Structure 1
Amino acid sequence: MKHRACLLKEFSKPLVIEEVQTPTLKPYEVLIKVLAAGVCHSDLHLWLGDFVPQGLPKKLPIVLSHEVVGEVVDVGEGVPSNFRRGVKVLVYPWQYVEEDQLTIKGFTQLARKRLRLGIDVDGGLQEYLISNYKFLVSIEGIEDIPALAPLGCAALTTYRAVKKARTFVEPDDYVVLIGLGGLGSYAAQWIKLLIPYSRLVGVDVRDEAIEFVSKITNVDVVVNASKEDPTKVLNELTSGLGVKAVIDLVGSPETVSKYINVVDTLGVYVLVGHMGRVEVPIPRPRIIRNEITITGSYTGSLADQYEVISLVRRGLLKYREVVTKRYRFEEVNEAFNTLKEGKVVGRQVVLIT
């Protein structure tokens, strides 16, 4: 059996749709007909070759996209009956080769031997995909399956980041969210849901991004950093004390060097984005004397993924509103070019079948 797949063969060159051999099922594996796949900024960086210095992607050609939803069409030996044919699933993309001390503790996304979709192994921009059943989460009964694809990365990543910041925040503390694009539209909702007693400050350099997120959820204070000095605004809001948490979805040298200086004593700076290749100096004496925490937050665990889907089932996340563009499979290069040109507000998905 063969199926169509979208292949990255050369960096920055158009992706190519070709027929490839459909893998044979092994025990505990599931064959999934891909319904939709999201296009993430990480996919853009992989396409451009930005991650080559880090040894990524692990192979060429490779099928990109780690945001995948689909339908079970066949199962291997040992697969539980709840993943029967016809069941709609989200594929948890942060997979791994084997259990280790980290995965056993629940840090599945930090496994020693990783098999990340679209990064280490082929991802979702293809008609069929095989996965071990333990990395599948049922999305049966949830409306608008294609709009669920970004929950495997954008919604998951921001969910974990907000959970990490939550423990530092007390009532009426300010939480600053840097970057109100595709990730930010989920993050702002998570902050309002998980830290409802905080005051949310949303920062971006684009009016359209600020307006987009403000329509989805209530942002207490918005700052366009291209028009006003965010440091001055934050110091005025906190009477010079600083904010308790910064969640940086950009992670550029400019954002880190600026916003680390507005974190209050015993506050936290959560690094999620990784724009730019330049290392960032930090104000070491201030961090030490005020016991400020700087922490990274990488995607989310399998347990986090189940929590995200559970909250979606309860109607607590506006996921459909975040997806602003849907492309046909044959339009995949348009999706990448639009993202490259900075024209995307919200998230975009490619409809595969």
Structure 2
Amino acid sequence: MPEMKKTYRVAFVKEFGKPLVVEEVPMPEPKDREVLIKIYGAGICHTDVHIWKGDWALGGLPPRLPFIISHELVGEIIAKGDKVPDDVKVGQKVLVYAWGWTKDDEWVIKGLGHLNDHPLHLGVTTEGGLREYFLVPDYRFLVDVEGLDDLPAVAPLGCAGLTTYRATKKVLPFLGVDDYVVVVGLGGLGAYQIQWLKALAPYINIVGVDVKDEAIDFVTRIVKLDATVNAAKVDPIKTIMEITRGKGAKVVIDLVANAKTIGTYLNVSSKTGVYLLVGMMGVEATIGPLVPFIASEKSILSTVVGTLQEQIEVVKAAKRGMVNYKAVITKRLKLEEATEALEALEKGKVVGRQVVVL
């Protein structure tokens, strides 16, 4: 078990868009339902870039500065409060469910706690885990990861893996044998998305779309696709319609979701097709002419992160080897190098996922 120290290091956002500042802070003592964990890995996500840059400041996020980002967290329990049950043990390896809440409400009762009106979203509405140690506010937001190796690589299962898993579950009811699914945006998120589709719907055809050959190559090294399209080199609408033999895609999963992707790939959605918005890279978009959209009975859905139950399922699936989580990690950094990870992601230089190893 890691040695308990009196202080530990934290990487703070002190000014929007400026380098993170690493400082020593006092070690907290867990009380009540709290659990103190030693962080082994903290993933870097596009949400972290938005928070770091101040893109969502007008909406009240982050709630204050200085602030601590990162919501993809994995580590080891080193201490716990007096109201934490005996089956939550010191020394246990855990993933932190980042999308918790401070007060049970109707959304928790419905099993949709991630939509709670009193969110406790790590690194977004409350401080995250880009630090050596993290005080988890409630033990129920811990998921056991005993049996998984390369723990730092497990961290992105808390957002990237979870988000794409829920996206897959959302579209499964609409898919039949030999239907086509178009995944827009490959790289790290896309690598998880296509693995989940392959695992949960092996009877479909998957078309991967990106504007970078390196992103396409990265994903195809991890998982086999039925077809790929570089939208920077060919007419994506024409090419996808040819691939689908003129029928279009029953499902489009948009991992980018900006005005350009929505305006383009709605055109390859089939009759009764479903367009699922996952990414948050845009501000607003139009869907084009309404009459043909309505007359074809097309639908637009959205999804965000996932439920606590789905997080448990993601970890179980990883333990069964249903997703190669290790292959998605392309860069590991020290805490002092976290700013480099944010800058690289902002500039579009990251193909897979980055993890800060502590």
Tell me the alpha carbon deviations over residues 36-93 of structure 1, each in whole angstroms, 9 at most, x when there is no partner. 1000111011111112233211221111000000110101012122221111100000
Residue matched to 1:98:
103
Q: Residue 202 of structure 1 contacts residue 219 of structure 1 at CA under 8 Å; is this kept in 2? A: yes
Pairing 1:215–2:217 present: no
Q: Measure, in 1, the Cα distance between the counterparts of 2:289 and 2:357.
A: 46
For 1:268, give the aligned amino acid: V
For 1:311, give the aligned amino acid: A
Pairing 1:181–2:187 present: yes
For 2:40, give the aligned amino acid: L
Q: Measure, in 2, the Cα distance between the counterparts of 1:280 and 1:38.
A: 33
Q: Structure 1 residue 165: deviation in Å?
A: 1.1
Equivalent position to 1:79, from 61, 74, 84: 84
Q: Measure, in 2, the Cα distance between the counterparts of 1:283 and 1:50.
A: 31
Tell me the alpha carbon deviations over residues 190-229 of structure 1, each in whole angstroms, 9 at most, x when there is no partner. 1111111000000000000000100101100000000001
Pairing 1:114–2:105 present: no
Secondary structure at the counterpart of residue 335 of structure 1: helix
For 1:103, give the aligned amino acid: V
Alpha carbon RMSD of aligned pairs, Å? 1.2
Q: Measure, in 1, the Cα distance between the counterparts of 2:310 and 2:52.
A: 28
Equivalent position to 2:320, from 309, 314, 339: 314
Residue matched to 2:144:
138
Q: Residue 274 of structure 2 contacts residue 301 of structure 2 at CA under 8 Å; is this kept in 1? A: yes
Q: Measure, in 1, the Cα distance between the counterparts of 2:215 and 2:189.
A: 11
Q: Measure, in 2, the Cα distance between the counterparts of 1:279 and 1:327.
A: 36
Q: Structure 1 residue 118: deviation in Å?
A: 0.5
Q: Residue 41 of structure 1 contacts residue 339 of structure 1 at CA under 8 Å; is this kept in 2? A: yes
Q: Structure 1 residue 16: deviation in Å?
A: 0.4
Q: Structure 1 residue 315: deviation in Å?
A: 1.0
Equivalent position to 2:201, from 170, 192, 195: 195
- Residues 236 and 330 from structure 1, CA distance in 2 versus in 1: closer, same or farther, beyond 3 angstroms? same
Calculate the TM-score normalised by the size of structure 2.
0.96
Secondary structure at the counterpart of residue 231 of structure 1: helix
Tell me the alpha carbon deviations over residues 112-143 of structure 1, each in whole angstroms, 9 at most, x when there is no partner. 11010001111110111111100000111211
Q: Residue 266 of structure 2 contacts residue 287 of structure 2 at CA under 8 Å; is this kept in 1? A: no
Equivalent position to 2:280, from 274, 278, 282: 274
Pairing 1:344–2:356 present: no
For 1:116, give the aligned amino acid: H
Q: Structure 1 residue 338: deviation in Å?
A: 1.7
Q: Measure, in 2, the Cα distance between the counterparts of 1:261 and 1:98.
A: 42
Q: Measure, in 2, the Cα distance between the counterparts of 1:242 and 1:338.
A: 35
Residue matched to 2:66:
61
Q: Measure, in 2, the Cα distance between the counterparts of 1:66 and 1:168.
A: 31
Quick check: 338-347 or 233-242, which moved more?
233-242
Residue matched to 2:307:
301
Secondary structure at the counterpart of residue 32 of structure 1: strand
Calculate the TM-score normalised by the size of structure 1.
0.97
For 1:34, give the aligned amino acid: I
Pairing 1:42–2:47 present: yes
- Residues 265 and 33 from structure 1, CA distance in 2 versus in 1: closer, same or farther, beyond 3 angstroms? same
- Residues 278 and 293 from structure 1, CA distance in 2 versus in 1: closer, same or farther, beyond 3 angstroms? closer
Tell me the alpha carbon deviations over residues 233-279 of structure 1, each in whole angstroms, 9 at most, x when there is no partner. 12112333221000000001000011112111111111001113233
Quick check: 205-214 or 328-337, which moved more?
328-337
Q: Structure 1 residue 336: deviation in Å?
A: 1.4
For 1:130, give the aligned amino acid: L
Q: Measure, in 1, the Cα distance between the counterparts of 2:69 and 2:49.
A: 9
Q: Measure, in 2, the Cα distance between the counterparts of 1:76 and 1:45.
A: 33
Quick check: 54-63 or 172-181, which moved more?
54-63
For 2:147, give the aligned amino acid: G
Structure 1: gaps (5+ residues): none
